[in-house]
């Protein structure tokens, strides 16, 4: 069966709650496409108003992060149960900005991935190399290691329903998009890695996004690649251009 494309916006630390409502209202007529799962991953404080504004549309509201404990003395964190209660179905885990600025590691990513599945939330698991790693020729080794650790103790059934976002760090927010060949090479390597860990069926089911300066002008070519099942989109997800990306 063909994999359904999934195109997710990552709003990052942008949009106040009232701006979030305005943006959802602006984008909702533009992102209608039944062939694509459309997700807006928004700041935690925007989840409930965005969810309300998106009611009755094809837009899923997702989170940008969550903690791996159930509840308790973790000031400032958001629990999986809080997300579930708000109606969240998707959560970005291990974005490179969280790894860089908030000390997330492959181990915390794995804990969060396990916890998301425990609560029935689909993780969008981020991976990707730095420019130095690409120049050193270790991109695929590095990404394989990130994936192997992120999926430790994850069952094949869970993995089949997961989303992986391959995001070369040098392409995030820089306007420097990976070539389609570079993006497809790594997305295929990730699928092969999933086949090694699990089996061919799991590898054929899991959805792998490309992220890194996706725009209305490069989305169609990227999403046409055999192993690229959509995109994780930062900057362009805050603009009407996101409608063009969803309807690539």
Pairing of strands 90-93, 122-127: parallel
| E strand or H helix that includes residue 50 | helix 47-54
Catalytic-labelled residue, pool 95, 104, 129, 184: 95
Shorter beta-carbon distance to ligand PEP: residue 61 or 160:
61
d(CA 143, CA 10): 21
Query: In the chain, helix, strand, coil percent, each to 5?
Result: 45, 15, 40
Asked if 146 interacts with ligand PEP (CB under 6 A), we say: no
Residue choice 213, 223, 227, 238 for contact with ligand PEP (CB under 6 A): 213
Stretch that binds ligand PEP, among 113-121, 180-188, 198-206, 232-240 (CB under 6 A): 232-240
Is residue 143 within 8 A of residue 128, CB to CB? The reply is yes
**Is residue 50 within 8 Å of 24, Cβ to Cβ?**
yes
Which residues have CB under 8 Å from 111's CB, separation 6+?
A: 68
Judged by CB under 6 A, the number of residues near ligand PEP is: 14
Check binding of 234 to ligand PEP (CB under 6 A).
yes
Q: Residues 232, 238, 245, 246: which binds ligand PEP (CB under 6 A)? A: 232
Q: Tokens representing 38? A: 């459309």
Establish whether 167 is a catalytic residue: yes
Taking CB under 6 A as the criterion, the residue among 189, 233, 245, 246 binding ligand PEP is 233
Residue 139: CB minimum distance to ligand PEP, A: 17
Among the listed residues 24, 63, 214, 245, the single contact to ligand PEP using CB under 6 A: 214
Task: Indicate whether 246 belongs to the interface with ligand PEP (CB under 6 A).
Answer: no
Provide the token pair at 69: 């404990």
128 binds ligand PEP (CB under 6 A): no
Cβ proximity to ligand PEP: between 79 and 237 the closer is 237
Please tell me whether residue 167 binds ligand PEP under the rule CB under 6 A.
yes
- Please provide the DSSP assignment of 6-72 as one string: EEEEE--S---HHHHHHHHHHHTTT---TTEEEEEEE-GGGHHHHHHHHTTSSEEEEES---SSSSS
Q: Please give the residue ranges that form the binding site for ligand PEP (CB under 6 A).
A: 10, 12, 167, 172-173, 211-214, 232-236
Q: Which residues are catalytic?
A: 95, 167
């Amino acid at each position: 069966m063909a994999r359904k494309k999934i195109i997710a916006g990552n709003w990052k630390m942008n949009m106040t709650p009232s701006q979030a409502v305005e943006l959802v209202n602006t984008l909702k007529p533009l992102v209608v496409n039944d062939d694509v799962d459309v997700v807006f991953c928004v700041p935690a404080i925007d989840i409930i108003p965005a969810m309300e504004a998106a009611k009755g549309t094809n837009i899923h509201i997702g989170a940008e992060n969550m903690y791996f404990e159930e509840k308790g003395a973790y000031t400032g964190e958001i629990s999986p149960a809080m997300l579930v209660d708000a109606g969240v179905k998707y959560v970005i885990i291990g974005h490179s900005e969280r790894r860089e600025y908030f000390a997330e590691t492959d181990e915390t990513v794995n804990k969060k991935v396990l916890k998301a599945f425990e609560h029935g939330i689909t993780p969008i698991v981020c991976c990707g190399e730095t420019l130095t790693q690409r120049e050193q020729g270790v991109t695929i080794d590095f990404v394989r290691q990130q994936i192997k650790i992120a999926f430790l103790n994850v069952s094949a059934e869970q993995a089949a329903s997961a989303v992986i976002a391959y995001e070369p760090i040098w392409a995030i927010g820089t306007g420097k998009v990976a070539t389609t060949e570079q993006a497809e090479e790594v997305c295929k390597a990730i699928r092969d890695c999933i086949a090694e860990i699990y089996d061919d069926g799991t590898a054929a089911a899991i959805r792998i996004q490309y992220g890194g300066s996706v725009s209305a002008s490069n989305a169609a070519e990227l999403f046409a690649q055999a192993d690229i099942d959509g995109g994780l989109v930062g900057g362009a997800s805050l603009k009407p251009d996101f409608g063009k990306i969803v309807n690539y």
